[in-house]
Structure 1
């Protein structure tokens, strides 16, 4: 190979790409019972933490692209999970709030993190925490 720095096995980004795809596939099965996609699940987790937040806050919390968020929220609203409410004083601003069905789904979703964690028996709890720390550093650097 003329440029060994281009070897695929040496690329952090490709490992992150493969790990991300693998995790999304793993989540797909667990989330199918709830009728959610992974991005919808991320939105639900953010709303379970802080219900009735602005779309701007939701975008910041989830790091989901604005145009994608619009589509995600529309589909979730159609499913009866949440409402999008316009501010009285400024119709451009909107708040997202869970409907009762969205609140109830939290109990059903409570086992998902454990289910997913069990899919990685070769990863110790300490290693998982180290990975979170390292990924947070990467996220900070690329933002």
Structure 2
């Protein structure tokens, strides 16, 4: 096995952990009053992958020793958070799977959550959007500007 195969296997194993309902220790409530979805996650992974979530978990750790943590993220759509959570666990995101507006929302939410790797990856994503979605970007300039 080469390094790429090993990393792919690791990525798949981490996604299996994300989908395991037995050993989670964090619930994350995403969305607003009209549509809320709850995701299950693992404190140790969130802590090391997101600076924003690390601050929340560190603050709550002092208050809630030994209990399940609950985090609310009202400004992120559940579909976007699901993409981000899969990225947090797997370290991968396949841009071709998503429409342009979702990619932009992922970038904005990733920035808010302090996902440093995704922010660094931003220049690649910019190039991808310019090469493949230039017409869409022109037609939706206001969204991109925001």
TM above 0.5: no
Q: Which has the higher strand share?
A: 2
Task: Compute the TM-score of the two structures, normalised by the length of structure 1.
Answer: 0.27
